[in-house]
A and B are shown apart, each in its own frame.
Chain A
Amino acid sequence: MSHDHIVSPKLYLGVLAILLVGTALTVAAARVDLGGLNIVVAMSIAVVKASFVVLYFMHLKYSHRLNWVFGAAAMLWLALLIGLTSTDVIARLTE
């Protein structure tokens, strides 16, 4: 099936480069004081890096759609867990 698609090493090297550049960017961005935006920038870059790993290194781009669905479900549930839990804890601690 589609997961027997063989990705070229050049593509892997490209992803590697992107990941390393992304890391450097993250560190550089942290040195600038953007206030509340710092965490947004850092997490956005992390999400982009993770996406490259998932899509290319983990072959999700070439994989059965079922794997996508479960991967997406994990992200959704993670968001639910972090979102609902931390908002309540924050609301309670900020009294």
Chain B
Amino acid sequence: MNAARPAANQMPKVHYLNVDYGIRSWLFTIDHKRIALLYLGSITLFFVLGGLFATAIRLELLTPAGDLFESETYNKMFTMHGVVMIFFFLIPSIPATLGNFLVPMMIGARDLAFPRINLLSWYIYTLGGLFTLFAILSGGVDTGWTFYTPYSSTYSNTNVMATAVGVFILGFSSILTGFNFIITIHKMRAPGLTWFRLPLFIWAHYATSVIMILGTPVVAIAIALVGLERLFHIGIFNPALGGDPVLFQHLFWFYSHPAVYIMILPSMGVISEIVCCFSRKKIFGYSFVAFSSIAIALLGFLVWGHHMFVSSQSMYAGMVFSILSFLVAIPSAVKVFNWTATMYKGSVMYNAPMLYAMGFIGLFTMGGLTGLFLSTLATDVHLHDTYFVVAHFHYIMVGGALMGYLGGIHFWWPKISGRLYPEAWARFSALIIFVGFNLTFFPQFILGYLGMPRRYHAYPPEFQVLNVMSTAGASILAVGYAIPLIYLFWSLRYGPAAGPNPWQAKGLEWQTSSPPPTHNFPETPVVTEEAYEYYPGAEAERV
């Protein structure tokens, strides 16, 4: 009996989810697919936690007076929102869930190169998360997620150490994930799968992994040095003791700028997959999109100073970083152009994944364009540390990365769970998210332009209307996120069986059953065709 090729629309008898039962089979698994689900659970929990802090922020900002929280408490709210969302949600999100699940499958391998290291990375993630949870529950941190010194290293009385330890530990989880992907992609591709036949999802994850291994150690040492400063009262970053606080900023942003590319590149990989499938067309300009991922990863390391234009960084350095920041927008623009060109004259189907992808393309473009105002030295002086910056990065991280993540979860949900989610509800929530998102963050561009500073909980009364709009949007957004949580769970039990390839998509992962068997493929596939060999005019039938 061939367990991997059942009749269409039947779940295979044995697959990776039911091959073994019990908590030990999950906690000691080395199956990349199960590890992906372990991560999915953890990051969803942290997403909810980060969302709670966001709720606190938006509630406070309903009124001009800082009346819901003390200033110090408000500082903790936005700090913990940032720390949780960035380090414990966005950075791992797609790589640790969809990446872990799909990278081996897309290249025809049985697992990643180092499965036990993969499991270790999840344990490390959990350990880092526990430290940070402890920090939150025992009083919180108020330094901002950016930990600027000497406040974080000397003067803050909050749980900087515990948070720093949590983030430091988390960095290793990220490094191990990236490391695993690099080895796997280089060494374990199926026969016939040359670099230029790889799905663009793989190129995106490769580029992301390069950033992870080159950048994460630097923020690790920056945080470690802050920890040493607090512990031993030394002054590496403290001007009162002879040190330079901007040195911390350099070491911090050397990673944290490329980190935003860690957050967006995997999402861009997802979009490439979705756009091709739901336009029934091969990607326009494959090598341009592939190389643009590498270009973003590399150029992304040359622009960190644009976070420090007003930190007394030298003017000369500022000019160099400004020009390079303009340059790094180009490969992103190439992608947007190519996705659009792919859709042009394709047979576009508006399933939920495609709605998320289209939302991504629009919102990411807006976020990216507004980045240009920030990388221009003169306008940045006006906009730095205002809500314009907040809106800019939320357009990219939420309007971009998060929508790509949701699109990917929906696109590969049939593969992961073996079941179909309810399409009508999925489209509905995608639209709610789109509306809620824009209502939340577009007013913030205006607020920033008008001069409202970020990280303040009190503001002049004339800004209230825009803030109320933003909070209203946030509540709609929350509803939009809650609905998929419900129906995805629902589908695990009541969703119809998906069959191996409900989207009639190209890609090796669709050649095996849904859910896949533990070792993915009964035999290692041999690849003979290029990526995305869709044919225009061939309608995909959802059977």
Contacts and interface: CB of A to CB of B under 8 A. Distances in A.
Contacts of A80: 301-302
A6 interface: no
A60 to B, nearest CB: 17
Interface of B is mostly: helix
Top-5 shortest CB links A-B: A91-B314, A85-B250, A88-B317, A77-B214, A89-B247
A74 B244 CA distance: 26
Given A81-B254, A85-B251, A92 B314 contact: yes
A66 interface: yes
Interface string A60-88: 00000010000001100100110011011
B327 interface: no
A29 to B, nearest CB: 29
A87 B317 CA distance: 9
Contacts of B301: 77, 80
B254 A92 contact: no
Interface string A8-43: 000000000000000000000000000000000000
Nearest to A93: B244
A88 to B, nearest CB: 5
Nearest to B186: A66
Contacts of B250: 84-85, 88-89
Contacts of A88: 246, 250, 305, 313-314, 317
B49 interface: no
Contacts of B313: 88, 92
Contact of B214 (A73, A85, A92): A73
Given A81-B254, A92-B313, 18 more contacts: A77-B214, A77-B301, A80-B302, A81-B218, A84-B317, A85-B247, A85-B251, A85-B254, A87-B317, A88-B246, A88-B313, A88-B314, A88-B317, A89-B244, A89-B246, A89-B247, A91-B316, A92-B314
A81 B216 CA distance: 13
Of A77, A81, A88, A89, the most chain B CB neighbours within 10 A belong to A88
Interface of B: 186, 214, 218, 244, 246-247, 250-251, 254, 301-302, 305, 312-314, 316-317
A89 B254 CA distance: 14
Interface residues of A, number: 14
B312 A92 contact: yes
B10 to A, nearest CB: 43
Contacts of B302: 80
Contacts of A81: 218, 254
Nearest to A77: B214
Nearest to A88: B317
A92 B218 contact: no
A37 to B, nearest CB: 26
A73 B213 CA distance: 11
B335 to A, nearest CB: 23
A80 B303 CA distance: 11
A73 to B, nearest CB: 7
B184 to A, nearest CB: 13
30 contacts: A66-B186, A73-B214, A74-B214, A80-B302, A81-B218, A81-B254, A84-B250, A84-B305, A84-B317, A85-B251, A85-B254, A88-B246, A88-B250, A88-B305, A88-B313, A88-B314, A88-B317, A89-B244, A89-B246, A89-B247, A89-B250, A91-B314, A91-B316, A91-B317, A92-B244, A92-B246, A92-B312, A92-B313, A92-B314, A93-B244
Contacts of A91: 314, 316-317
Contacts of A74: 214
A90 B212 CA distance: 28
A22 B244 CA distance: 35
A20 to B, nearest CB: 31
B258 to A, nearest CB: 10
Nearest to B251: A85
Contacts of A73: 214
B375 to A, nearest CB: 17
B303 to A, nearest CB: 11
A77 B255 CA distance: 12
A84 B251 CA distance: 11
A66 B244 CA distance: 38
Nearest to B316: A91
Contacts of B244: 89, 92-93
Contacts of B214: 73-74, 77
A81 B214 CA distance: 10
A77 B210 CA distance: 11
Contacts of B186: 66
A8 to B, nearest CB: 29
A80 B304 CA distance: 12
Nearest to B187: A66
A87 B318 CA distance: 12
Contacts of B317: 84, 87-88, 91
Nearest to A73: B214
Of A74, A85, A91, the most chain B CB neighbours within 10 A belong to A85
Nearest to B317: A88
Contacts of B316: 91
A4 to B, nearest CB: 16
B356 to A, nearest CB: 34
Nearest to B308: A88
Contacts of B246: 88-89, 92
A76 to B, nearest CB: 10
